């Protein structure tokens, strides 16, 4: 049996919904999985290191990256929220992560961005990762910032990154919008694995979606990554359309790709 591609892999946000999915799955890719979060992580499993840390704490993040070969960065705020928590975890935190990667010589990061970077495109637009960003809130803005930070660290320091503009990664699509945005957990795993192991990654932006029939995103420019989704939201369509037979076109959530995020907030 050939050795796993990485000696030590770091997974941030390991206590979150997607982190809990990836934690057991990433172990096949490394000898040691270092898991981090500010929330409770439980005890270390076999071949695991548990390292609680807050992303706004630059020193803690610096220590987190020591001895690491690659990072899957899911940590941070993952919904629309007031500015302060987003500023700390997503704006400051992503700089702390890339600075620590630079100082420790870490060469590859898979960064969980979000479809909310382009949430104000309409649902009748089909867009590519090269189209201008149109964030739908502070959260989307912070992910656009993170993508730009990753691009700077690639251009200036050669750290390769994949920015995953994740759609809706849940056990199944919850509404009609998610027929387009759904990403199964198995396809999430395939996408992260492809980005970690592609021989040449460079700086890549890719939408995280399954092989859905309805789609607003064209991933042609990320084909070098070799991600081939195998699931589709189509098998949920009949039930979802029966549950939600009409669409209210007076509701911005029905018109824009970001769905309800486009009308969340302001918070004061």
Nearer to ligand 15L, 94 or 100 (CB): 94
Q: Does 181 bind ligand 15L (CB under 6 A)?
A: yes
Tokens at 60, concatenated:
């803690």
Candidates 110-118, 123-131, 189-197, 199-207: pick the segment binding ligand 15L (CB under 6 A): 110-118
From candidates 115, 142, 150, 184, binder to ligand 15L by CB under 6 A: 115
The contacts of residue 230 (CB under 8 Å, 6+ apart) are: 186, 187, 190, 210, 211
Nearer to ligand 15L, 168 or 204 (CB): 168
Nearer to ligand 15L, 73 or 116 (CB): 116
Active site residues: 139
What's the per-residue H, E or C state across 55-91? CCCHHHHHHHCCCCCEEEECCCCCCCCCHHHHHHHHH
Q: Supply the Cα-derived Rg of the chain in whole angstroms.
A: 18
Alpha-carbon gap, residue 65 to 47, rounded angstroms: 17
Alpha-carbon gap, residue 143 to 78, rounded angstroms: 9
Candidates 34-42, 109-117, 199-207, 211-219: pick the segment binding ligand 15L (CB under 6 A): 109-117
Q: Does 81 bind ligand 15L (CB under 6 A)?
A: no
Phi-psi group of 168: left, alpha or beta (phi > 0 → left; psi -120 to 50 → alpha; rest → beta):
beta
Nearer to ligand 15L, 100 or 129 (CB): 129
Q: Does 113 bind ligand 15L (CB under 6 A)?
A: no
Kind and range of the H or E run holding 219: none
Tokens at 72, concatenated:
């899957």
Q: Does 134 bind ligand 15L (CB under 6 A)?
A: no
Cα-based angle 132, 196, 24 (whole degrees, multiple of 5): 115
From candidates 23, 108, 116, 190, binder to ligand 15L by CB under 6 A: 116
Q: Does 168 bind ligand 15L (CB under 6 A)?
A: yes
| In the complex, minimum distance from the CB of residue 207 to ligand 15L, in angstroms, rounded to a whole number | 11
| In the complex, minimum distance from the CB of residue 181 to ligand 15L, in angstroms, rounded to a whole number | 5
Q: Where are the beta strands (DSSP E) in the chain?
A: 6-12, 30-36, 48-50, 70-73, 108-114, 160-166, 203-208
From candidates 7, 59, 79, 244, binder to ligand 15L by CB under 6 A: 79
Residues in binding contact with ligand 15L, number by CB under 6 A: 9
Q: Does 78 bind ligand 15L (CB under 6 A)?
A: yes
Q: Does 114 bind ligand 15L (CB under 6 A)?
A: yes
Site residues (vs ligand 15L, CB under 6 A): 78-79, 114-116, 166, 168, 181, 259
């Amino acid at each position: 049996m050939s050795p796993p591609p990485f000696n030590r892999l770091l997974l941030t946000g390991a206590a979150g919904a997607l982190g809990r999915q990836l934690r057991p799955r990433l172990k096949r890719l490394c000898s040691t999985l270092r898991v981090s979060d500010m929330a409770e992580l439980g005890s270390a499993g076999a071949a695991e290191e548990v390292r609680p840390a807050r992303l706004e704490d630059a020193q803690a993040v610096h220590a987190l990256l020591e001895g690491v070969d690659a990072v899957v960065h899911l940590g941070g705020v993952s919904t629309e929220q007031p500015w302060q928590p987003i500023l700390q975890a997503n704006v400051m935190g992503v700089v702390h992560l890339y600075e620590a990667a630079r100082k420790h010589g870490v060469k590859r990061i898979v960064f969980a961005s979000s479809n909310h970077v382009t949430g104000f495109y309409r649902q009748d637009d089909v867009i590519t990762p090269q189209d201008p960003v149109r964030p739908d809130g502070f959260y989307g803005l912070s992910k656009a910032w993170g993508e730009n930070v990753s691009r700077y660290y690639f251009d200036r320091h050669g750290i390769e990154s994949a920015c995953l503009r994740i759609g809706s990664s849940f056990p199944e699509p919850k509404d009609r919008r998610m027929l387009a945005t759904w990403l199964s957990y198995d396809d999430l795993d395939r996408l992260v694995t492809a980005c970690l192991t592609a021989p040449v990654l460079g700086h890549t932006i890719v939408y995280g979606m399954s092989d859905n029939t309805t789609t607003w995103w064209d991933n042609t420019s990320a084909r070098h990554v070799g991600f081939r989704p195998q699931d589709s939201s189509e098998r949920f369509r009949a039930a979802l359309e029966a549950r939600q037979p009409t669409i209210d076109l007076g509701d911005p959530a029905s018109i824009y790709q970001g769905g309800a995020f486009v009308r969340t907030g302001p918070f004061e």
